[in-house]
Each structure stands twice: as structure tokens, then as C-alpha cells.
């Protein structure tokens, strides 16, 4: 018989060598003590040794009946402390020695809540469950909504608050006020009293809301974290409970004391009693949780709050030696720390040892590097290259490196994508990103939303579902599906123009019969089958909702109805990046199901709607259920707040931009929870001074200090320095490190990636300037790479195979033409010029819709066109127009505040120039503004439909029509370009051909056209825009200095050329003046020395 069992691996315990400062802490046996411990000074080791020494001196809990209590601020830190203490003791203990504040309070309520203590405690302890931060925010919003239903007029709230009441921001601020009130030990009536004294009626509204909120928590049997500590303090008012605990606790040791809030400090004071043993270890320079109620001055108030048995302030000592990093990192981060406030009441020797700890002179000094980049994309690529070089050349394991950012929601997702694309394995804790933002969760939530609606998805939702794991198609597959559906629709309509491809795809998900029609007319295809499965799946989900299914049942139907789970499972059991992504996706989906299981009270549509509302309302991260989904196999990506207590050999602090770090925005500006406080020691609650600008700056500097002090051997800080005012600027904090900044231009020249290696070998293999021997060597290596496969037989480097090279294959053509046979070629006045200048750019931008979001100037231009049109229609004077500008401006989104200010000044100047231009041209009769037109034209037997919108149509004194086009760009055309300016030419042709007969019946004469550049100042002293005129098409039908074309006007010549390009689909790349602004320049063949035809 074979017996199989598990045996714990033996732990090798090393007894640390303590320095004199650490030994003084270990030798401290009674009374309060404050220990100031900077980064890497061994505070955790000191705590462990102090607790172990106390246990060995006084005996463990089972022997003496008393046990030290160790409190810290994260589950990870508590687990680490327990393991280290147990290992040093060589045996386990009867009770946990290290706990978080909240787990300690939770245990107390569970233990003593069943007795006859404070009313409400027993009920709360019986099925006690703690709310995560996202769940709490949802409960607050839900309770606020319930109050609004009962009191639609919101009579409990000041009139100024009612507009903000339904917003998420208001709910978040209400939650902060409630948490702050509980941290101060206030009940709802106390908060109302404080509101009356402070003349803050909005606090009174929160007080009344707080009472109902607490009743909701009691009814559901749940607690939030601030309420948990508050009820534990209530429990300690029972003399019997307090005496029992004091008899059991042999000294209290607190780690990261600077992060305590007033409620936790009060709890410690009540537990310890006068002169009790409380050893608090912390670092005021690492106080970064002010948004959770921690007070930076709290740790420095410790000596007065916790006095000795004789009534003297608690003694203070500092750990004066750092073992984390060498002198260079210590010097750089020390410059940061020197700019942080520190109480003068501390002894001078303590201040000096704390702020300037000694380093090991025999150890490595470390490295500090600061880099500036031209763009966020370049920054991400260089960071990826730096990490790969550290791994491949310096031998660092991926898990020995960390990348820290200021904002998880803003900064983490693009970095995760960029590093993963570069082959850098990354790990991000599940609670760094809100659950609803997880890539694996989005398609399930979207499918649930669509299943709730009778009218099905809209066009955008259809595309997202089809390319999601539920649909299983890519963008090309969606296009093929659309072409098949259009062909079937055209056949059914007898050649008539069908709906758009996007609309037909939408209708197919509602009515799968359309997919069957397409299959009958053109045969089966993978795209049709995948779309059919998705349509059936959505229909089944809809039916399950209508039959009263729960959110969990509908979610399971969607999740299990495809092969997506099987694919994720296979990837998770594999290796590499795909396994890491699959692990993360599965963790996110499991977290989603956890919420669905807890949402079973309601069924049917109402239940699913409630579930969706709860998930979507969880806009903040920090769901502890997803906190531990890390496996230690990749580079850690996390926020600086989450990096507290961690360290790596290499740390990159990325994206340190002014406006983002420091982030000096005033938070909670509506209800101002930070101004709720005690009126002096022992005073009542009332209005206090909020955080000043200097205090907010200090907190941001402390956060940056925490990030930089996570590095053991190498610290790299990066920022982006934008050009031409379009990007962010490096943070002021970079200069405080007193390290020279290196400006890096462009992308990494030779990144250490497989793709870069293949690219270099390909370049050498075809470069005629290289020697034949070198070219042959490159070709041999390419062949080896082309044959290499992974464990599943997939090519590792398909780009190494010449059969896959661009230019080696025949030129492909789309299944459907750009313009269907028999349909006219559609051209707009504004696009004709761009089509003739570069057909490739026109196609990618106008037809493929491949251009990214617009720049700042484009948004300003749209605003100016609206204002100009409004001014002409309503005859609004310039000063009122500036008022309208105020109304619109706040709705615009700018990359940075200073860009908003710069563009606002430009906009006001444009309004002023426009007013001057109007005055100078008041003699012209305005026929219309923003005048749309459609003009059919036939050239060389080709039907063309010209479309456009004329900014301003005028009648001159002699009756002729005149066209004005307003421009807000920064670059004016050359005068030589004006005679053949395509957009103005099309407008003049439209006027000639009667496109504006509804405004000027029978008038076909044109008197020219002009461009008015509102952003550009004319050469004179007075505000006036640059104006460029084009001669009348009547007077100048052919361009001067050029041979007459074959058509009636030069405009017809250009229309004919453009129509031929579109019809023949010859979208070639052409070098022209605007190439430097092209969004597709990186892939442009015209930039190469050889263009493959």
C-alpha cells in the first residue's frame, strides 16, 4: 500500500543582526514608544524581533494568558508578519499574532457580539459581511435614489445641492462625509448638530441620509469599513469587554502608524489605556492615504496622545540605517524628503537620523536615471525596451522589476497594452481596475444590456459584440459579413440600394432569418455561422429574462453558450503572455459571477437591471476579492499607492507629468468632507480648515517619494515633453531629484524583441549596400526563425517567412467595390483636394475611417463654426458672442488645462477678427449660412454627386453669388494655390449649376469665393483675419498658365480625375506638403526609397 501525503517544506530561519536603534525597540518593555522608520530601515524586522522577544520573555498566550497584538494595514502585510513571527518562534500560536485593524475589529464583533452588549452589535455580528469599497458606493447611490423617489422635491437638501444629487460624484462625496463622521465617532444626530453650528445645511442632509443608510446596512446584515471600527469602539465602552481584552493583550505593536485615521487612533487609545504599551512604527513622509481619512500630523501627535504612566510624552527614536538602497538613490530621494514638513518638536538627533539614514558604504551606490520622451507611445516603447534589456542583459527576473504610475484608471491600461505587445510579461492586480472596465467583463455586460431590450443592439453595439469573444469575428470578418448581407439584400430588392452594412448586421442579430437568406444566396461561410450563433444566444438570453431567470442564470447562459471558456482554459494551461491574459480574464469573470450570486433577490428584467446597475456603479477599484490574483511571474504594474511596502531591484516610475503628478485638484469640493473635524483636542465636531494648496502638494510629493523609494538598485523616472503645446510637460518633482534629465528622441532604434530582430534581419538580407556574406547570414537566420514553432505548432515568427512579406503577394482587391456599379461617385467639396493630393490618405481617412480622435484645434474650429453661424442667424454682437463662448467652452475636453487656456485666448481673438471682418463687409447681402447642397455632375460619362456645406453664401452688389469659407487652422495656403483651390471651385460650380436656387432663384452668375482664416492675423495693426480670394469661375474657367483641359472648367477636370481614382481604386500614396501631418505616415510606402507597385 502506498501512502501519499503533503509535508510542509522546511523553512530556513535566519536570525537577523540588529543595529543599535533596532535593539532599543526590541528592548522596550512597557509604555508607549514612537519609532520613526524610513524606507528600508528594517522596521518589519524590528517589529518581528520585538514581538518574538516579548513572547519568549512573557510566554505565549497558552502559557501566560497574554499575547502581543500586532496591527497593520493590509492583508498581505499581516500575512507576512504572521509567517515571519511564527518562523522565528519555531511554532504556531493559539491566536493570530498580526492582523489588520479591520480584521481585528471584525473578530471582536464576532466574538463579543452574541452577548448582552450594545444594542445592534449582536444583530450585526450574526451573518456579518463586510462591503467592498465598490459595493459600498453602490449602496450609497441606491439609498440616495430611494430617498429621491419618496421625496422628489429633495426638501431635505439645500437648493444648491439638488442638481448634483443624482450624480455619481455626489454619491461619492456623501460616502466620504459618512466615513469621516464615523472616523470622528459621530452619529447622524451629531452630524446634524455639527452642520447647524457650522452653518452647513448640506451636512445636515447627509446626516439625515446617514440614518437611513445605516438602517439599510443593518437590514442587509452588512457593514462598511468605517462603521466596523465605529461599532468596535462602541463595544469597548463595555467595561467587561475592555477588561477582558486588556488582560489578554501583552502590548500593542502598530505598523504603518501614519496611515491611521482618528477612529483607529481612538480605538488604540481605548485598548491600551493610560500608560499602556503601544509601540507605533511609521514614517510621516509616507503618509499617502489622506483620501481614506488618515491625517499626516497624526503620527507626530503620537507622543502627546499616548503618554507614559507618569504623564510625560511618549519617547521617540528613529531607525537610522537603510539597507534597501545605496547612496545615490538615498541622496536623490533625500532631496525630496527634505522638502516635506516635519515637526520641530522632535529632538534634533531624531530628525537627523530619520531624514538622513546611513547607507552601507561597502554596498552598491545604485543608479538614478530620468528620461524625457516625445510622446506617450515612445515612452511606453522605451520602458518596454529598458525592461527587456534588464532581463536579458542584466539577468533580472521579470518579477524583480516594477512599473509604478500615479493613476490606475488613466495610466495602467495603455502601459499594459504596450508592454504586452512588446513581449514583456506583466502582472496587474485585479483590484487596480474597476470590474466593469475589465476587457473580459465588457462583452458579457454588453450582451446582458442588449438582451434586456426588445429592439436589440444599436450599430455600434453590434460591431462590438461581433468582434468580442462572444461573436468570435475580427474586423475583417465583420466587413465580409456586411458584404454578404448587402449582396443578399440587393438581390432581394432587385438591384435597389440596400441599407448600410452596419445596419444590416444589426438587423441580422435581431432577425437571424436574414443570415439564412444570405446563406441561401451565396453559400455558407464562417462569418454567417458565427453571427447566427450570437443571434441565437442573445435570443435565448432574452427569453430567459422574460421567463423570470436570475442575473446569474442569464450570465451563465451567455458565458457557457460559446467556446470562449474552453479557449480561455486552454490558454491558461499554456504558457507565456496568453496564459497570463487568460488567468486575468478568468479572475475577472469569476468576480463578476460572485456579484451575480449575491444579486438573486430580484429576478427577470428587474433583477438583471439591478445587477448591471451594481456592476456599472462600481466605478472605483479596490475589490478585495480580486486583490490576490498575482502569481509572481511578470513585471508588476501598479499605482504608487499600491506599491507601499513593496520593493524591486529595478523600479520605473512612469508618466510623471505636471498636472497629473502632482494632481492638485480639489476633491470633494461640493460637500467638503475634509473640513469636518474636531474643534481642537477633545472639542466637538465642526468646520475646520480644509487642505491648503501647500498641503495637497505635500501629499503628492510624499506619494512620489514612496514610489521612488521602492527601488533597491536602479530607479528610472520617465515623463513626456510634448511639442508645439499639444502634450503634457514633465512634473516639477523631476528637478527635485537633482539628477540630470536625458531627452530621448524617437522610438527605440533596436529593441530587444523578436519582431525587431526579424525586422533587422529582413533589412540586412535585402540591402544592396551590405556584403553578400552578411546578407546570406541574415537569410539563414530568417529561415531558422521562419521554421520555429511553439509547443502548439504555431509559428513563432511568421514575419520571417518571405511568403508573408508585403510586396511579395499579388495586390489584393476588396470583395465589394468602393462604389457599386451603377452608383454615382460621391465627392465633397472639402475632400476633393485631399483625394487629389494623396489618394491613399483620403481612402484611409474618409472611407476606412482609420483616423484617430481629433486634435485640440479641431475642437476649437467646430466651436467657431457654430458661433459664426449663430452670429449670422441671430445678428448677435461680438460681446454677446463671447458670452456664448463661455457656455460652450466648459463642454470641451482638452489634454491639459493650459491648452484650454491657450485655445480660449485664441478663440476670443478669432471672435474679434470675425467681428472686424463682418464690419468691413457689411455691404454684402447674406443669403444663408451653413447652406447644404447636392449637385449631380457628369464627366466623361461618369456620374458624380457633389455634396457640401457652404459656410456663408452672399449676394454682391451686382447680384452675383459669392461664397465664403471660414478656416480656423494655423497654416494658410500659398497664393499660388488659390486659383485652383478645389473646395472653393466646387462651391462656385454648385452656384453656377443652380444648387442654391432656393435662396437665389434663377441666379447662376458667380462673383468669386474667399477663404477667411480667423486664427491668422492680417498684416495690419487692427484685428483682422487673413483673407484669400479666388477669381470668379465665370471669368476664369481655366487656370492661368496651364493648358486648357478637356472639360468646360478646371473644376470639371479635377472632378474627372478624382472620379477615375475612386472608380479604379488606385489609391496610391503621394508625397505632398501635408505629409508631416498625416495620421498614416508610419505605414506610408511613399516614404521608402523604393515603392512596390
Residue ranges of the annotated binding site for ATP are: 37-44
CA dihedral 15, 16, 20, 23 (to 10 degrees): -50
Residue 662: is the preceding peptide bond cis (ω within 30°)?
yes
CA distance 132 to 624: 7
Q: Where are the strands (E) in 908-973, listed by range?
A: 925-939, 942-955, 961-967
List the binding residues: 37-44
Round to whole Å and give the CA distance between 965 and 290. Answer: 54
Q: With CA atoms as reference, report the closest residue to 1032 among 971, 956, 967, 975.
A: 956
Q: H or E element: which one contains 1008?
A: strand 1006-1017
Output helix, strand, coil percentages for the chain, rounded to the nearest 5: 50, 15, 40
Contact at 8 Å (CB) between 165 and 148?
A: yes
| Listed residue (659, 578, 137, 641) closest to 412, CA to CA | 641
Helix (H, G, I), strand (E, B) or coil at 1010: strand
Strand order in the sheet with 98-100: 98-100, 67-72, 249-254, 278-282, 33-37, 316-319
Distance (Å, whole) CA 995 – CA 989: 9
DSSP codes of every residue in 844-875? IIIIS----PPPHHHHHHHHHHHHHHHHHHHT
Q: Decide: 1005 and 959 in contact? Cβ < 8 Å.
A: yes
E strand or H helix that includes residue 418: helix 408-421
Q: Can you tell me the distance from the alpha carbon of 506 to that of 514, in angstroms, rounded to the nearest whole number?
A: 10
C-alpha cell belonging to residue 386:
529598458
- Cα gap 354→318, rounded to integer Å: 5
Distance CA 1009, CA 1006 (A): 8
DSSP conformation class of 1019: S
C-alpha distances out from residue 104 to 17, 308, 590, 1063, Å: 31, 25, 28, 75
Beta strands in 872-911 (DSSP E): none
Residues in the chain: 1093
Asked if 26 contacts 50 with a C-beta cutoff of 8 angstroms, the reply is yes
Under 8 Å between Cβ of 93 and 69: no
What nine digits make up the cell of 888? Answer: 460652450
Report the interhelical angle of 829-837 vs 1050-1064 (nearest 10°).
70
Cβ atoms of residues 134 and 619 within 8 Å: yes
The closest of 621, 562, 625, 561 to 595, measured between CA atoms, is 625
Alpha helices (runs of H) in 511-562, residue ranges in sequence order: 513-522, 526-546, 551-560
d(CA 969, CA 860): 10
849: left (phi over 0), alpha (psi -120 to 50) or beta: left
Q: Which residues pair with 1026 in a beta bridge?
A: 1013
Query: How large is the C-alpha radius of gyration of the chain?
Result: 35
**Nearest alpha carbon to residue 396 among 387, 404, 408:** 387
> What are the cell numbers at 872?
449670422
Residue 451's closest CA among 604, 617, 600, 586?
604
Strands 249-254 and 278-282: parallel
Closest listed residue to residue 717, CA positions, set 410, 393, 422, 333: 333
Amino acid at each position: 500500500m502506498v501512502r501519499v501525503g503533503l509535508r510542509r517544506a522546511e523553512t530556513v530561519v535566519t536570525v537577523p543582526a540588529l543595529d543599535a536603534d533596532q535593539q532599543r525597540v526590541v528592548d522596550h518593555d512597557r509604555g508607549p514608544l514612537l519609532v520613526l522608520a524610513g524606507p528600508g530601515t528594517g522596521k518589519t524586522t524590528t517589529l518581528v524581533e520585538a514581538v518574538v522577544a516579548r513572547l519568549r520573555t512573557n510566554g505565549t498566550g497558552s502559557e501566560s494568558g497574554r499575547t502581543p497584538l500586532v496591527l497593520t494595514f493590509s492583508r498581505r502585510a499581516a500575512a507576512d508578519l504572521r509567517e515571519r513571527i511564527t518562523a522565528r518562534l519555531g511554532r504556531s500560536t493559539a491566536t493570530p499574532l498580526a492582523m489588520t485593524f479591520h480584521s481585528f475589529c471584525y473578530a471582536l464583533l464576532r466574538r463579543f457580539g452574541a452577548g448582552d452588549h450594545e444594542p445592534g452589535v449582536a444583530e450585526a455580528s450574526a451573518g456579518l459581511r463586510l462591503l467592498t469599497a465598490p459595493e459600498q458606493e453602490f449602496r450609497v447611490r441606491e439609498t440616495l435614489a430611494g430617498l429621491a423617489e419618496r421625496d422628489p422635491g429633495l426638501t431635505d437638501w439645500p437648493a444648491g445641492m439638488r442638481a448634483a444629487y443624482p450624480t455619481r460624484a455626489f454619491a461619492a462625496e456623501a460616502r466620504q462625509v459618512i466615513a469621516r463622521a464615523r472616523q470622528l465617532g459621530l452619529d447622524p444626530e451629531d452630524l446634524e448638530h455639527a452642520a447647524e453650528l457650522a452653518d452647513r445645511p448640506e451636512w445636515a442632509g447627509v446626516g439625515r441620509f446617514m440614518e437611513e443608510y445605516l438602517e439599510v446596512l443593518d437590514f442587509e446584515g452588512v457593514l462598511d469599513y468605517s462603521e466596523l471600527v465605529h461599532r468596535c469602539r462602541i463595544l469597548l465602552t463595555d467595561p467587561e469587554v475592555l477588561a477582558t481584552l486588556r488582560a489578554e493583550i501583552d502590548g500593542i505593536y502598530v505598523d504603518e502608524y501614519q496611515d491611521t485615521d482618528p477612529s483607529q487612533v481612538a480605538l488604540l487609545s481605548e485598548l491600551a489605556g493610560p500608560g499602556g504599551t503601544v509601540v507605533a512604527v511609521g514614517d510621516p513622509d509616507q503618509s499617502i492615504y489622506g483620501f481614506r481619512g488618515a491625517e499626516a500630523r497624526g503620527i507626530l501627535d503620537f507622543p502627546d496622545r499616548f503618554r507614559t504612566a507618569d504623564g510625560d510624552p511618549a519617547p521617540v527614536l528613529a531607525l537610522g540605517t537603510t539597507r534597501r538602497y545605496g547612496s545615490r538613490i538615498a541622496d536623490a530621494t533625500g532631496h525630496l524628503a527634505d522638502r516635506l514638513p516635519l515637526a520641530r518638536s522632535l529632538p534634533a538627533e531624531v530628525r537627523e537620523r530619520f531624514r538622513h539614514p546611513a547607507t552601507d558604504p561597502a554596498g552598491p551606490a545604485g543608479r538614478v536615471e530620468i528620461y524625457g520622451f516625445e510622446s506617450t507611445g515612445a515612452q511606453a516603447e522605451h520602458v518596454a525596451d529598458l525592461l527587456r534589456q534588464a532581463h536579458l542583459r542584466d539577468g533580472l527576473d521579470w518579477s524583480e522589476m516594477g512599473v509604478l504610475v500615479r493613476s490606475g484608471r488613466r495610466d495602467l491600461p495603455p502601459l499594459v497594452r504596450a508592454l504586452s505587445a512588446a513581449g514583456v510579461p506583466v502582472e496587474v492586480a485585479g483590484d487596480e481596475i474597476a470590474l466593469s472596465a475589465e476587457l473580459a467583463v465588457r462583452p458579457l455586460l454588453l450582451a446582458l444590456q442588449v438582451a434586456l431590450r426588445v429592439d436589440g443592439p444599436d450599430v455600434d453595439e453590434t460591431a462590438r459584440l461581433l468582434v468580442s469573444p462572444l461573436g468570435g469575428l475580427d474586423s475583417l470578418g465583420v466587413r465580409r459579413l456586411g458584404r454578404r448581407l448587402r449582396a443578399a439584400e440587393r438581390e432581394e430588392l432587385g438591384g435597389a440600394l440596400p441599407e448600410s452594412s452596419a445596419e444590416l448586421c444589426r438587423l441580422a442579430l435581431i432577425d437571424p432569418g436574414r443570415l439564412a437568406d444570405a446563406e441561401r444566396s451565396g453559400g455558407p461561410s464562417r462569418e454567417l455561422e458565427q453571427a447566427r450563433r450570437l443571434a441565437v444566444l442573445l435570443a435565448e438570453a432574452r427569453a430567459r429574462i422574460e421567463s423570470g431567470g436570475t442575473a446569474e442564470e442569464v450570465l451563465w447562459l451567455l458565458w457557457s453558450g460559446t467556446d470562449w471558456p474552453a479557449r480561455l482554459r486552454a490558454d491558461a494551461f499554456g504558457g507565456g503572455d496568453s496564459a497570463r491574459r487568460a488567468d486575468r480574464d478568468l479572475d475577472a469573470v469569476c468576480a463578476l459571477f460572485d456579484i451575480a450570486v449575491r444579486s438573486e433577490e430580484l429576478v427577470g428584467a428587474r433583477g438583471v437591471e439591478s445587477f448591471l446597475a451594481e456592476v456599472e456603479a462600481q466605478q472605483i477599484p479596490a475589490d478585495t476579492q480580486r486583490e490576490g490574483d498575482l502569481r509572481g511571474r511578470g513585471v508588476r504594474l501598479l499605482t504608487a499607492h499600491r506599491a507601499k511596502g513593496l520593493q524591486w531591484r529595478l523600479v520605473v516610475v512612469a508618466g510623471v507629468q505636471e498636472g497629473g503628478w502632482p494632481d492638485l485638484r480639489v476633491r470633494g469640493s461640493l460637500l467638503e468632507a475634509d473640513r469636518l473635524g474636531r474643534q481642537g483636542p477633545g472639542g466637538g465636531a465642526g468646520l475646520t480648515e480644509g487642505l491648503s494648496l501647500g498641503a495637497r502638494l505635500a501629499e503628492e510629493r510624499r506619494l512620489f517619494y514612496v514610489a521612488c523609494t521602492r527601488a533597491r538598485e536602479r530607479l528610472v523616472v520617465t515623463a513626456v515633453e510634448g511639442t508645439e503645446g499639444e502634450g503634457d510637460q514633465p512634473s516639477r518633482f523631476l528637478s527635485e531629484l537633482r539628477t540630470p534629465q536625458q531627452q530621448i528622441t524617437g522610438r527605440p532604434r533596436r529593441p530587444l524583441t523578436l519582431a525587431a530582430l526579424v525586422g533587422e534581419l529582413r533589412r540586412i538580407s535585402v540591402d544592396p549596400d551590405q556584403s553578400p556574406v552578411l546578407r546570406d547570414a541574415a537569410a539563414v537566420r530568417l529561415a531558422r526563425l521562419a521554421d520555429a514553432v511553439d509547443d502548439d505548432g504555431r509559428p513563432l515568427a511568421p514575419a520571417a517567412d518571405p511568403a508573408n512579406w508585403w510586396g511579395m503577394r499579388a495586390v489584393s482587391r476588396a470583395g465589394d467595390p468602393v462604389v457599386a456599379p451603377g452608383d454615382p461617385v460621391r465627392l465633397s467639396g472639402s475632400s476633393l483636394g485631399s483625394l487629389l493630393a494623396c489618394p491613399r490618405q483620403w481612402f484611409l481617412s474618409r472611407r476606412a475611417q482609420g483616423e484617430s480622435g481629433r486634435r485640440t484645434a479641431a475642437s476649437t474650429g467646430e466651436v467657431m463654426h457654430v458661433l459664426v453661424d449663430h452670429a449670422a442667424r441671430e445678428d448677435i454682437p461680438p460681446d454677446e458672442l463671447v458670452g456664448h463662448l463661455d457656455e460652450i467652452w466648459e463642454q470641451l475636453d482638452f489634454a491639459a488645462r493650459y491648452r484650454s487656456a491657450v485655445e480660449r485666448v485664441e478663440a476670443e481673438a478669432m471672435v474679434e477678427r470675425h467681428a472686424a471682418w463682418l464690419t468691413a463687409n457689411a455691404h454684402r447681402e447674406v443669403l444663408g449660412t451653413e447652406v447644404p447642397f447636392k449637385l449631380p455632375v457628369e464627366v466623361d460619362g461618369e456620374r458624380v454627386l457633389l455634396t457640401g456645406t457652404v459656410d456663408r453664401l452672399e449676394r454682391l452688389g451686382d447680384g452675383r453669388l459669392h461664397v465664403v469659407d471660414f478656416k480656423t487652422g494655423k497654416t494658410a495656403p500659398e497664393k499660388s494655390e488659390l486659383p485652383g483651390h478645389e473646395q472653393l471651385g466646387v462651391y462656385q460650380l454648385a452656384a453656377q449649376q443652380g444648387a442654391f436656387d432656393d435662396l437665389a432663384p434663377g441666379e447662376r452668375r458667380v462673383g468669386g469665393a474667399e477663404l477667411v482664416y480667423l486664427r491668422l492675423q492680417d498684416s495690419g495693426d487692427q484685428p483682422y483675419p487673413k483673407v484669400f480670394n479666388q477669381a470668379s469661375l465665370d471669368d476664369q474657367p481655366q487656370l492661368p498658365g496651364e493648358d486648357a483641359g478637356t472639360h468646360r472648367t478646371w473644376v470639371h477636370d479635377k472632378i474627372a480625375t478624382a472620379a477615375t481614382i475612386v472608380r479604379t481604386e488606385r489609391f496610391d500614396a503621394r508625397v505632398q506638403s501635408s505629409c508631416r501631418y498625416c495620421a498614416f505616415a508610419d505605414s506610408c510606402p511613399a516614404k521608402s526609397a523604393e515603392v512596390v507597385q
